[in-house]
Amino acid sequence: MKIKKANNLAGIIYPPGDKSISHRVAFISALSNGVNVIENFLLSDDTLRTLDCLGELGVEIEISEKLMIKGRGVKNFQKPRSTLYAGNSGTTIRLLSGILAGQNFNSEITGDDSLRKRPMMRIIKPLRMMGAKIEATENGTAPLKIYAVKNLNSIEYELEIPSAQVKSCIIFAGLHAEGKTKIIEKVQTRDHTERLLGLKVSSEDGKKIIEVEPGIKIENKYYLIPGDISSSAFFIVAASIIPNSHIVVKNVSLNPTRTGFIDVLRKMGAMIEFENVREVSNEQIGDVIVKSGKEINLKNLTLAGDLIPNVIDEIPVLAVAGAVAEGVFEVRNARDLRNKESDRIKAIVKNLRNMGIEIEEYEDGFSFEGGKKLKGTLIQTYGDHRIAMAFSIAGLVAEGETVIDNPECVKISFPNFYEILKNVLN
């Protein structure tokens, strides 16, 4: 895929369905009692792995204009005939492990080369505390073997790492437990699972407490999945760093645990507004309007501390904005970037260096002086969809030609990314 410098961006964008919410709605529908109808479900490599795994567990799924999932209840899944395959999807393996931990059959779940390197002890520890019988490799990675248990115990667990995947895993396991499970967050993470299940949420001493009562009856529902704000981030950044741009992103999730990167861009000086804000399926949804003037006058800042968990997926494309903005752009306390679909710190550093940026790499982040002219180069994606899309946006402001080495990897989350990009380029 070859990318050339753009004059401006203009148009209306309808982003794909939100990936995080699509995964969770699929799992919750499978746990429900009855038929669920889901509109705007994201059909990407990651979410299809979730649907395939649920199908292997005996869940009836029909994919047409809308997705239909017939729930089996909390404990009525069928023993899979073979090892479940989560592909590249960390959400699939971690959330499904919480469901499998409470079943009365043995199961095994694995993934591709990238997923088999990602840390799983973060879910294994709390699941074992609940009485689950679960084994990983010596390195604490997949494949995971999960053995039948009669019941799980309720626990009170404070998350050691801010992670919506770990939290959701424990929530799903808590549905199978005897007694009330409490999950405590020092740093708030995306909250789609507790919203969708309508769980009791409170605050105490600055910490968030989520309670999971046993025996919740999950009703079948109609769901409308909002557009994915993380996928939209690439276009929001592009319109903020390319002069004379004006885009409208329609019907996108504006959940406050997901819009941290917009707060960052606004602090940098980007002109971003929300319109038509409303609530659908317990989630805020609306339109995002982005404009830029003849000159780009963004100012850099430091991303660190409690901000990181709610912008971690957008750091690759925020780094691209930082390359255009004036001053020092620094990311710290983001060690978990190394445990994503690729080592994203390494990928960001290497590609920005190849584009002409002098950048310093740290174990938990990186820093560089922005405001430099980028030069087109060969981008190494490492098979990571967010690296491919972020540096496609970098190519729009670079001199010369930028070549993306594996554009196909965007299918993990945003299959029609390049088609939409072509439509708004001028």
Q: Beta strands of 216-270 (E only): which ranges?
A: 222-224, 246-253
Among 46, 313, 336, 384, the active-site one is 313
d(CA 177, CA 214): 6
d(CA 24, CA 47): 10
- State the amino acid at position 271 in one-letter form: M
Classified as helix, coil or strand, 340 is coil
For 10, 83, 233, the CA distances from 238, given in Å and listed in that order, are 10, 41, 8
**Is the distance from CB of 44 to CB of 84 less than 8 angstroms?**
no
Q: What is the DSSP string of 373-414?
A: PPB--EE--TT-HHHHHHHHHHHTTSBSEEEES-GGGGGGT-
- Catalytic, 205? Answer no
For 186, 398, 419, the CA distances from 204, given in Å and listed in that order, are 10, 48, 47
d(CA 280, CA 376): 42
SS3 per residue for 193-213: HHHHHCCEEEEECCEEEEEEC
Point out the residues that are catalytic: 313
